[in-house]
Structure 1
Amino acid sequence: MMITFSTVIDWLTDGIPVPEQTVDRLETGIPETEVRGIVTAFTASQYVIEQAAALGANLVISHEGIYYSHHDQRDWLGQDPVYRQKSALIAGTETGIYRFHDYIHRYTPDGITEGLIAELGWLEYVEEHRPAVSVLTLPPAPLREIAEYVKRKLQISYVRAAGDLSGSCSRIGILAGYRGGGQLVIPLYGEEGLDLIIAGEGPEWETPEYVRDALQQGRSKALIMLGHAESEAPGMKQLAERLAAQFPAVPVRYIPERPVFEVI
């Protein structure tokens, strides 16, 4: 049986209710195109598209959007030279790009969060998966030690930590992506008895300021922010492994992107 873009997309979304106002769609390409190779990535960056073409892959599965906007609003880019060159690259390579954001976050457990936990080697410590957070109980360890471990496992040069670096942490909540906001995170400390939240990112005037005040009051609360891409890329790496198992006749590769920020 010929494997097409539609074959892969149908498998990815099978059994998941269609999310309301979803951004997930085949942004470029024709559904009936035969798949020659698949690349997964956090985002379909210029580099990722170039690498996919070099590998002979014609389907890129991207968690985030192509053109610097969650809702694919590109009218404002107009004649921007970066936008035009990237668009020309996509057209020239005839690359199909499928935006896979909302569906994977609705997997049970969340496919992006599960990938992060697996990369950290913590699946055995999971107590509960919820739609937005996974709760774990780890062997107690100082915040600094956990932060260094996370950096090493994710192969990233830095994380941002708030709290007493020597304070012991065991009960942990993990929230991938942009889920570090106060309304979601702050209640978890009390309701779940959490010592530490590990999140991708969130408004800096919310959860980080709560942790600052908690410390001033002598309360033990801690926070590690990984970065949005750093927290979600492992989920797309895991997705490549699952696609390879499902479609063994199709070459599948996960393309890691270089960090966009450098610490100076």
Structure 2
Amino acid sequence: MTATIKAIIETLTEGIEPIPNTVDKLEPGEPEAAVTGIVTTFAATRYVVERAIELGANLIVSHEGIYYSHRGGAEAWPNDPVCRAKAERIREAGLSIFRYHDYAHRRAPDLITEGLVEALGWAEYVEEHRPEAALLTIPPMGVREIAEHLRTKLGLSVVRAAGDLTQTCRRVGVLVGFRGGGSVAIPLFESGRLDLIVAGEGPEWETPEYVRDAVLQGGRKTLLTIGHAESEAPGMKRLAAMLQAKYPDVPVHFVADRPVFELL
């Protein structure tokens, strides 16, 4: 039986209580349309849109929004030529796009965090999955050794570090996306008894400044940031494998864009 977009969405949200005011929605797209192929991705960038068309997929499952805003669609920038051109290309290609953000993070364990932990080869070291983080006890590793591990496993060009870069770490918190901000990361150091937090990103005046002061006051705390997309893309890659197993007759692809920032 041909899978419909509605069936795919039901699979993605299965077992999770409805989330009020969620950003997860099908826009554009018709729920009853048959699915010819699926692309999962961190963000439905113009590059990802073109790859989906080349692959013959008519459904993109994107973790982040299409139009550069967490809650807004194309209407957030009604007169912007970049948004208009992108929307027109999506329309003329007949693509459907489902935003899969809130429900992905609401899974237990969090799908996006789980994907990053598995990509790092650290799944066996997880001692606790919290809604906001995975807490691990890893074999003793130096900060620079861990940074190299992150670069190798995730194909990163750079890892940003703050705090004590000389310590040996065992207790590690893994936080994806924007959870490196102070409201999440700072209390986690104490409640999780952490030496190190590996995070996507967060305001630079919050957690990085906290760990700097902690070291000056005699503490041993370190923050490694790897980038928002870099921390969440592995979860969407994991989702592609899950959907392929559920729908073996539907071609499913994970597509990643190049890193958005370049080193000059």
State the TM-score bracket (shorter-chain normalisation): over 0.9
CA distance in 1, matches of 2:79, 2:144: 47
Matches within 5 A, 1:197-212: 197-212=197-212
Which ranges in structure 1 are unaligned for 5 or more consecutive residues? none
2:227, 2:148 → 1: CA distance? 15
Q: Distance in 2 between matches of 1:79 and 1:188?
A: 42
- 1:136-173: CA deviation from partner (whole Å, max 9, x where unpaired): 00011110110111011001101111122221111001
Shift of 1:192: 1.8
Which residues in structure 2 correspond to 1:27-176 (within 5 Å)? Answer: 27-176=27-176
TM-score (norm 2): 0.98
Match of 1:227 in 2: 227
Distance 1:23 1:157 in 2: 31
With normalisation by structure 1, the TM-score equals 0.98
SS in 2 for 1:91: helix
- Kindly report the root-mean-square deviation, in angstroms, between the aligned alpha carbons of the 2 structures: 0.9
Percentage identity across paired residues of the two chains: 57
Q: Is the 8 A contact 2:74 2:87 kept in 1?
A: no
Which amino acid in the other structure matches residue 145 of structure 2?
A: E
CA contact (8 A) 2:172 2:198 kept: yes
Amino acid at match of 2:192: E
Q: Single out whichever of 15-24 and 76-85 deviates more from structure 2.
A: 76-85
How far, CA to CA, are the matches of 1:106 and 1:162 in structure 2? 29
Deviation for aligned residue 1:203: 1.2
Stretch deviating more after TM superposition (232-241 or 200-209): 200-209
Say whether the 8 Å CA contact 2:43–2:64 is kept in structure 1: yes
**8 Å contact from structure 2 (residues 74, 84) kept in 1:** no
Cα distance in 2, alignment partners of residues 259 and 11 from structure 1: 29
Aligned letter for 1:55? L
User: How many equivalent residue pairs?
Assistant: 264
The match for 1:259 is 259
Other structure's SS at 1:28 match = coil
Q: Which amino acid aligns with 1:239?
A: L
Alignment of 1:14-29 (within 5 A): 14-29=14-29
Q: Which runs of 4+ in 1 moved over 4 A?
A: none
In 2, Cα distance between equivalents of 1:145 and 1:165: 10
Distance, in Å, in 1 between the alignment partners of 2:71 and 2:79 is 19
User: 5+ residue gaps in structure 2?
Assistant: none
